[in-house]
Amino acid sequence: MTWTQNFTPVGGSLGWSALVAIVPTLFFFWALAIKRMKGIYAGVLTLIISLMIAVVVYKMPVTMAIMSGVQGAVYGLTPIAWIIITTVFLYKLTVKTGQFHIIRSSIVSITEDTRLQALLIAFCFGAFLEGAAGFGTPVAICASLLVGLGFNPLYAAGLCLFADTAPVAFGSIGIPVIAVAGPTGLPAMDISKMIGRQLPFISLLIPFYMVFVMVGWKKTKEVLPAILVTGISFGLSQFLSSNFLGPELPDILSALVSMICTTVFLKVWKPKHIHRFQQQEGGIVEVAATAERYTGGQILKAWSPFLVLTLFITLWGVNGFKDALIGNYKGSNGFLVAMNSIGKALSFHPAVPGLHNLVISNGKPVAAVFKLELLGAAGTAVLLAALVTKFMLSISWKDWFLTFGETISELKFPILTICSVVGFAYITNASGMSVTLGKAVASTGALFPFVSPILGWLGVFITGSDTSSNLLFGNLQKVSATSVGMKPVLAVAANCSGGVMGKMISPQSIAVACAAVGMPGNESKLFLFTVKHSIILVLSICVITYLQYSVFSWMIP
């Protein structure tokens, strides 16, 4: 028996229906920002509220509503929680073997200044990981590295969430752009060009913004030359690659160029005052630090787990190889054909019982399958890096498995939090609540060119993914833009660019970041740390989009 979505279930009114549909989102904001609940309680209660609204108001059959939540919870386990488990596991291996102490000293040898370390790790290295893998990988890995360097966990998580805004629109080898090109019918290259004429302005700002949040204006001025080198090199590379190469490489190329430029610059320039921070109960305090001397071989060995990780993550994102890992390779390369057989055997897409093709949206049945691509998951790439690390660092199998067990034990509550918030996202989508909210935003008429990015921001907050937000609202953006005389490619790009600003407050991102830095139960603190900055940044995208619509229309391809 099928069920048809109704986007105006409250008296046929879009306005009243939207007010009801936004209740779970508002509750989540209230629970974290005002009530300051632990993430697991906020997540579970939000899940229950969304389930009740889906059943009582949207008249979704109970079984379908529950199974959509189950589908989300499974996706929360893999690939999302799987990335966190393996990433924290790899980090713990380097700590237990004493190698992270050498990593810390090697970073200090480039710069002892914490502000600059944040630029190199959270912004540059994080952008590279976002371009190669996405799905929470950069926040998990970079936040762990910063904590190991002595950063307060809250600042480590928050700074990595800030830094991850610049590259998200081109993450995972351009998947958000490639995905939205299909349902909208717009060329991916045009969308890439338009995003590349919006986000570089934000990319120039983010390095400054990160340091300013860390230390305030006075101490930010001390490292302004390095900030400019980082931001300009990244922003310029992002513009050139997105406009002349396409959506696949902007993150990776921009990250590498920015990292090299910043590192070389720091070899010839040092700030007058060196600042470092260490974790203390009351927050962060300034301390002195010096780097110990290690040989090149020792440093290479210490960094080898993360070098291998980078290799695997990059390989997992390469076209062809990526397809083979999930059993979808169509070429004739012998090695990839063999790999495709293994990937196919380890990829499972069973239909979600009681839900698959039973929900009718806009006259079409909605497929609902569990996506279990065990070999192709980014977390598996990290696990393989951890396996190689076992041999490189001469860790016994006993200690290797004990560390893995400890990691799972420490992350059990964060994993439940992740599953609950992803379940909430899936119920919101399957019931039609998210489309109700999207249509409400799209009905703003003459204001639409300004509020268009907010639709993407809302989509990423709900789904935790710029790709999912683009698929959810991309075509709605195109139709709404056409109705008000706005070029569709600008609206679709605004959905991508605005969406990335919602990443830092998405329940999934908050849960992932807290898990990575050992702050389970402190999601409300991190949410409060990021929410105002998310609003400021998305409003910046709104202004940029409106100006490109009304004044600088020559910027639209």
What is the pLDDT tens value at each position of the chain, 557 positions in all?
A: 899 999 999 989 999 998 999 898 889 878 877 887 887 888 899 899 999 999 999 999 999 999 999 998 888 788 778 877 887 788 889 888 988 778 777 777 788 888 899 999 989 888 887 876 666 678 888 888 888 888 888 888 889 888 888 788 887 667 788 777 866 778 888 999 999 999 999 989 999 988 998 888 889 999 999 999 999 999 999 999 889 888 877 888 888 899 899 999 998 898 888 877 654 333 444 433 445 678 888 888 988 888 888 788 778 877 788 889 988 888 888 888 999 999 899 888 899 999 999 999 888 898 889 888 889 887 898 899 999 999 999 999 999 999 999 988 877 877 887 788 778 878 987 898 888 887 887 787 788 899 899 988 988 887 777 877 777 677 778 878 887 888 989 999 999 899 889 888 888 788 888 888 888 778 888 888 888 899 999 999 999 999 999 988 888 88
The answer to whether 252 and 132 have CB atoms below 8 angstroms apart is: yes
SS3 394: coil
d(CA 39, CA 45) in angstroms, rounded, equals 10
The answer to whether 142 and 121 have CB atoms below 8 angstroms apart is: yes
SS3 287: coil
CB contact set of 331 (below 8 Å; sequence gap of 6+): 320, 337
Q: DSSP character for 552?
A: -
Predicted pLDDT of residue 78: 80
Predicted pLDDT of residue 476: 75
Terminal Cα distance for the chain, rounded: 46
According to DSSP, the residues that pair with 365 across neighbouring strands are 360
CA angle 12, 5, 29 (to 5 degrees): 80
The answer to whether 234 and 119 have CB atoms below 8 angstroms apart is: no
For helices 153-163 and 137-148, give the axis angle rounded to 10 degrees. Answer: 140
Establish how many alpha carbons lie within 13 A of residue 403's alpha carbon, considering only the half-sphere containing its beta carbon: 23
Predicted pLDDT of residue 472: 67
SS3 319: coil
The CB density around residue 224, as the number of other CB atoms within 10 Å, is: 13
Rg over CA atoms, the chain: 23
d(CA 202, CA 254) in angstroms, rounded, equals 14
d(CA 486, CA 319) in angstroms, rounded, equals 34
What does the DSSP assignment read for 412-464? HHHHHHHHHHHHHHHHHHHHTHHHHHHHHHHTTGGGHHHHHHHHHHHHHHHHS
CB contact set of 148 (below 8 Å; sequence gap of 6+): 91, 95, 100, 103, 104
